[in-house]
Every structure is written in C-alpha cells, then in structure tokens.
C-alpha cells in the first residue's frame, strides 16, 4: 500500500481542501468563503480623509460659552463682554455677589482652566481636554461618516480610523462620477445646525457693518442663500448636538422641508428662549448659511422645528441624513483619493488572468520538457499550490488586489523553484550511481536547508512589506507570503509523497530519461 504514505495523504487532503475552498470564489457561488476583490479590481472609491481637529476645539469652546450664557440668564447673573476666541472665553461680571454662583458652575465643567482678574474671567481648556476633544472628534467623525454612508444605502462601505488622525473610507459600490460626487458631498457636510438670535437692535445696519464692528457687539454676519445679510448673536441658542431626529417633509406649497426634533434639554432651552423673545426673529443656520429667519410668534414647546429654504428633494434627503447622523465636530478634508471605474477594474482582472494563464502554461510545459515525469509531478504541486493560495485567501476573507494578482503570477514562476532544487539534487545523486530510492530520499534531505533558507528570507521581505505597506501593497505581501508557505507544503511534502507512492514503478522501469529527463 505505497499510496498510503503519510506525505501523499496529507497532499491529497490539502489538494482537496484547496479546491473545495477556492471553488466558491472561482465559480462565484452564492455560498462558501469567497475572496473579496479589491477596489482596484472591482471599481469603487477609496479615500483617506484628514480631520481638522482644531475646529473641533474651537466649537467646543463656543458651546461652553453658550452654556455659560444660558446659565447666567437662567440665574439672573449679569455679565458683560462675553467673548469667544480660538483659545478660550472671557467675560466680566457686573455684580461681585454673583461670583460664587458662577464659579461654582464653572467648577462643575470639566477640563477648564479659569483665571480671575477682579471681576474679569478668562477661561481656557486644559491640554488634556484639548487632546481628548481632538481624539473624540476623530472617533465621532468615523462614527458619523459610517452612519451617513449606511443610511445612504451603499453596499459594504468601510469606514475606519487609520493611523493617528486619518479616516479610511472605501466604497466598492460607487459606479459613476456623479454618484461619487454626491457621496463626497454627503461625507463632507458639516451638518452643523445652529439656532441663533437675530440682533434686532442693529439688524438694520447689517449691510454696512464690517465683521470687526459686528464682533464688538458679540455678533457675526451671516448670509442666506440669496446673499441677504443677517446680523446674529455669535453664541448660538442651541446647536445640532441636541437634535434627536430629522426627516424630509413637504410644506403647503409641496416644497421639501426638513422637520427636526430636539432632545429634552434642547426643547427646554428652545421653549425658554422663544417665550422671552416673542416678536423677534430666530435664524435657522445650517453650516453657516441662514436658511430661514422666522419671527417668533409665541413660545414654542414640544421641541420641534423646521428648516425650509428651497431644497431639492435629493438635497433635503441628504441634509436630513446628515442631521440625523449628527454634525461633524471637525471638518474633514481629502488627503488621498483613488477612484477606479468598474470597466478599468474588469480590464485589470482580464489582463492579469491572461498573464496568469499564459505564464502558467509556459512553466508547466517547460518543466515537463526539462524533467519528464518529475516535471509533471512538480506541475501537479504547482496546480495544488494555486488552488491552495486561492482557498486560503478565501478562508481568511483576504482581499485580492491588482498587485496581489501580480503576486500570484510571480508565485507561479517561483513555486517550482523548490522542485527544481530537489530534482537537480536527485539528478546529481543518480549520476553518481546511487539507487533511485536512495537518490530521492537523499535528494529531499540535501535540498532542504537551501529551500528553507531561501524561502524564509523571501518571507522576511514579504512580512516587512506587509508591515509597512498600505492597501494594495499589503495585498501583494499577503499573496506572496501565502504563496511561499503553500509552495513549501506542496513542493516539499506533496511531491515527496507522490514519489513514495510511485517508488516501485520507478525502480522497476530504470528509465531515468523518462522519469528525470537525464541519461545515466
């Protein structure tokens, strides 16, 4: 029972496993483990986004200022010159009796450094707080972008933090440039909703006022979509972080509008403000553009509002998604973008398949020509090797990229190396007059250290490539490593098993030209 040697059994099992695991990928079956094609092979959008974390710190400072202002008004604390800049907040108390109250409030806020000079307070954030805000901004951006893309209805979007401060977005489903642009806009949308009080006392002069002069009153100038200027209080009444829901609706003229709902804290602030400011205007500001500025007719309880202002239906839909999934605390920008059209991906697959097949055929024929049946055995190992690479990649859900394809093609050329080394050793021993049985045993033994050393050094290069590479390069390193390991298994164990199984036949035939391609 020569066929039942352990090497041959292992090889057959490995071969069967390789075929079984690669069939779902090769025949594109609906079940079983499958290789995912990289974006460069199936088309899609790959983006590396940067996060402008400084802006997140600035907006945190603004929202602390809003909280201070609301607290002061709520508790009848009189303050003046409440100012906000990128580094902190300053204000002046009018009544020193209020100092303990406001100081107690400030103490409750975490991460603040409060300096006091008479009745003038300057507030800054601690360095740890700044750091944690920045970290949170990135995490929040990842979550927000993921949320938005999920709701957009794309197949398998990937959104992940990459490195210290970057976000990797991969969208295989993107087919057209128009679709891509819409997705990019959706991702970029700050969706920063603010409800701001119009400075009615000075609004009449809005057109003539400079931004510097506005700042003196604690105001900023914003425009609406038609270019009309509004003078609004810089510190908003509330912002989008208090939104719980946003949906597209239609007004009486059948124009799309966005209905939003506030959480309980937001609803209370909104109700209090509207009660105190009946007859004044409230600007609804989205991403620093005034969408509408209705006059407050009465106290608005219930915590819901509406943004109107000439949206298209698609636009309203995207804005609602953006509002629902939350504002970006910090704006994102593009660091790297690769968009591959589906036709280019298909072309790449076709071209590399042609290269793979023709390279494969050349190597197979050449090995048979040079080594005879030993070449056929090496070719069987090579075929097993190819199935094994595909099967293992499918098993681990690895991504096949274009350089990965090149890696497989390259493996075809290099995989026969171990068998070439072994066959050369066997030939050498046969020439020196050793019996076939001994030549084969000894050949494998002698070849082993060279095969191991050579493959391990290549593996080292592949591992380094994986550790330092990005995207497609990683794919190349993976296929290379799997290819090296698989070829060692099939070429060392597999072919040895086949020789053992055929040993009697080889010994009987004595035709070394047929078996090993040499005349002795």
**CB distance 204 to 66 below 8 Å:** no
Q: Please pick, from the candidates 347, 505, 510, 511, the single residue that binds another protein as defined by CB under 8 A.
A: 347
Place of tokens 């954030």: 125
The distance of closest approach from Cβ of residue 68 to another protein in the complex, given in angstroms and rounded to an integer, is 33
The distance of closest approach from Cβ of residue 380 to another protein in the complex, given in angstroms and rounded to an integer, is 16
**CB distance 80 to 91 below 8 Å:** yes
Decide: is 358 part of the binding site for another protein (CB under 8 A).
yes
DSSP string, 398-448: PEE-HHHHHHHHHHHHHHHHHHHHHHHHHHHHHHTT--HHHHHHHHHHHHH
CA distance 360 to 381: 13
Query: Please, which residue, 98 or 335, has the CB nearer to another protein?
Result: 335
The distance of closest approach from Cβ of residue 375 to another protein in the complex, given in angstroms and rounded to an integer, is 9
Decide: is 75 part of the binding site for another protein (CB under 8 A).
no
> In sequence order, what are the residues at sequence separation of 6 or more whose Cβ sits closer than 8 angstroms to the Cβ of residue 516?
371, 372, 373, 374, 423, 426, 427, 430
Decide: is 284 part of the binding site for another protein (CB under 8 A).
no
Q: Please pick, from the candidates 468, 504, 511, 514, the single residue that binds another protein as defined by CB under 8 A.
A: 468
Decide: is 173 part of the binding site for another protein (CB under 8 A).
no
Element (H, E) at 11: helix 6-26
The distance of closest approach from Cβ of residue 60 to another protein in the complex, given in angstroms and rounded to an integer, is 23
Q: Please pick, from the candidates 146, 417, 434, 503, the single residue that binds another protein as defined by CB under 8 A.
A: 417
Decide: is 341 part of the binding site for another protein (CB under 8 A).
yes
Decide: is 225 part of the binding site for another protein (CB under 8 A).
no
In the 8-state DSSP scheme, what is residue 189?
Answer: -
Decide: is 288 part of the binding site for another protein (CB under 8 A).
no
27, burial (CB in 10 Å: exposed 0-12, middle 13-18, buried 19+)? exposed
Decide: is 344 part of the binding site for another protein (CB under 8 A).
yes
Q: Please pick, from the candidates 123, 421, 482, 491, the single residue that binds another protein as defined by CB under 8 A.
A: 421
The distance of closest approach from Cβ of residue 334 to another protein in the complex, given in angstroms and rounded to an integer, is 5
Residues 360-399 that bind another protein (CB under 8 A): 360, 362-363, 366-367, 369-371
The distance of closest approach from Cβ of residue 341 to another protein in the complex, given in angstroms and rounded to an integer, is 4
Which range of residues in 19-27, 243-251, 311-319, 339-347 is near another protein by CB under 8 A?
339-347
CA distance 398 to 377: 29
The distance of closest approach from Cβ of residue 427 to another protein in the complex, given in angstroms and rounded to an integer, is 8
Query: Please, which residue, 155 or 467, has the CB nearer to another protein?
Result: 467
Q: Count of residues for the chain?
A: 520
The distance of closest approach from Cβ of residue 443 to another protein in the complex, given in angstroms and rounded to an integer, is 12
CA distance 214 to 5: 90
Decide: is 469 part of the binding site for another protein (CB under 8 A).
yes
The distance of closest approach from Cβ of residue 394 to another protein in the complex, given in angstroms and rounded to an integer, is 23
Decide: is 50 part of the binding site for another protein (CB under 8 A).
yes
In the 8-state DSSP scheme, what is residue 203?
Answer: G
Residues 448-467 that bind another protein (CB under 8 A): 449-450, 453-462, 464-465, 467
Decide: is 180 part of the binding site for another protein (CB under 8 A).
yes
Decide: is 438 part of the binding site for another protein (CB under 8 A).
no
The distance of closest approach from Cβ of residue 408 to another protein in the complex, given in angstroms and rounded to an integer, is 10
CA-based nearest residue to 219, from 120, 84, 122, 86: 84
Helices in 306-435 by DSSP H: which ranges?
Answer: 313-324, 342-371, 373-395, 402-431
The distance of closest approach from Cβ of residue 163 to another protein in the complex, given in angstroms and rounded to an integer, is 8
Which tokens sit at 60?
A: 């945190």
Place of tokens 């090497």: 7
CA distance 387 to 280: 74
Decide: is 184 part of the binding site for another protein (CB under 8 A).
yes
Decide: is 127 part of the binding site for another protein (CB under 8 A).
no
Residues 247-266 that bind another protein (CB under 8 A): none
CA distance 286 to 265: 20
CA distance 292 to 275: 19
CA distance 214 to 217: 5
CA distance 270 to 194: 12
Place of tokens 């350089």: 403
Decide: is 321 part of the binding site for another protein (CB under 8 A).
no
Which range of residues in 55-63, 133-141, 255-263, 420-428 is near another protein by CB under 8 A?
420-428
The distance of closest approach from Cβ of residue 414 to another protein in the complex, given in angstroms and rounded to an integer, is 6
Q: Please pick, from the candidates 285, 390, 478, 480, the single residue that binds another protein as defined by CB under 8 A.
A: 480
Residues 76-95 that bind another protein (CB under 8 A): none
């Amino acid at each position: 029972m020569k066929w039942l040697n352990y090497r041959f059994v292992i090889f057959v099992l490995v071969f069967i496993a390789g075929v079984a695991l690669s069939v779902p990928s090769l025949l594109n079956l609906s079940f079983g483990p499958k290789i995912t094609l990289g974006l460069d092979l199936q088309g899609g959008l790959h983006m590396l986004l940067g996060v402008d974390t400084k802006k997140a710190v600035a907006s945190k400072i603004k929202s602390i200022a809003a909280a201070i202002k609301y607290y002061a008004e709520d508790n009848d604390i009189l303050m003046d010159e409440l100012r906000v800049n990128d580094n902190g907040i300053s204000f002046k108390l009018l009544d020193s009796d209020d100092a303990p109250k406001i100081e107690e409030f400030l103490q409750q806020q975490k991460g603040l450094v409060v300096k006091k000079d008479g009745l003038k307070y300057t507030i800054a954030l601690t360095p740890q707080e700044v750091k944690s805000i920045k970290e949170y901004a990135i995490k929040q951006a990842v979550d927000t972008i993921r949320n938005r893309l999920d709701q957009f209805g794309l197949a398998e979007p990937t959104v992940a933090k990459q490195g210290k401060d970057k976000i990797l977005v991969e969208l295989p489903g993107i087919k057209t440039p128009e679709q891509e642009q819409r997705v990019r806009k959706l991702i970029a949308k700050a969706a920063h909703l603010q409800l701001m009080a119009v400075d009615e006392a000075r609004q009449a002069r809005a057109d003539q006022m400079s931004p510097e002069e506005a700042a003196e009153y604690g105001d900023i100038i914003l425009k609406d979509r038609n270019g009309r200027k509004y003078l609004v209080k810089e510190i908003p009444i509330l912002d989008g972080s208090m939104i719980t829901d946003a949906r597209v609706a239609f007004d009486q003229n059948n124009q799309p509008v966005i209905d939003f709902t506030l959480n309980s804290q937001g609803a209370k602030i909104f109700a209090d403000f509207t009660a105190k400011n009946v007859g004044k205007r409230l600007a609804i500001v989205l991403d620093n553009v005034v969408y509408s500025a209705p006059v407050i007719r009465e106290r608005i309880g219930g915590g819901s509002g509406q943004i109107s202002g000439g949206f298209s239906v698609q636009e309203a839909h995207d804005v609602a998604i953006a509002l629902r999934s939350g504002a970006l605390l910090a704006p994102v920008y593009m660091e790297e973008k690769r968009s591959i059209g589906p036709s280019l991906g298909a072309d790449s697959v076709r071209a590399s398949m042609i290269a793979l097949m023709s390279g494969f055929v050349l190597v197979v024929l050449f090995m048979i020509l040079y080594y005879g049946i030993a070449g056929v055995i090496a070719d069987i190992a090579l075929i097993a090797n190819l199935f094994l690479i595909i099967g293992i990649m499918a098993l681990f859900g690895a991504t096949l990229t274009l350089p990965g394809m090149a890696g497989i093609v390259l493996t075809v050329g290099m995989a026969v190396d171990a068998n070439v080394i072994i066959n050369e050793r066997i030939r050498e021993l046969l020439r020196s007059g050793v019996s076939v049985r001994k030549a084969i045993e000894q050949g494998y033994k002698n070849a082993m250290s060279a095969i191991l050393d050579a493959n391990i050094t290549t593996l080292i290069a592949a591992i380094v490539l994986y550790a330092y590479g990005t995207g497609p390069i990683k794919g190349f390193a993976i296929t290379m490593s799997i290819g090296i390991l698989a070829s060692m298994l099939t070429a060392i164990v597999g072919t040895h098993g086949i020789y053992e199984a055929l040993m009697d036949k080889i010994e009987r035939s004595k035709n070394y030209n047929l078996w090993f391609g040499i005349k002795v």
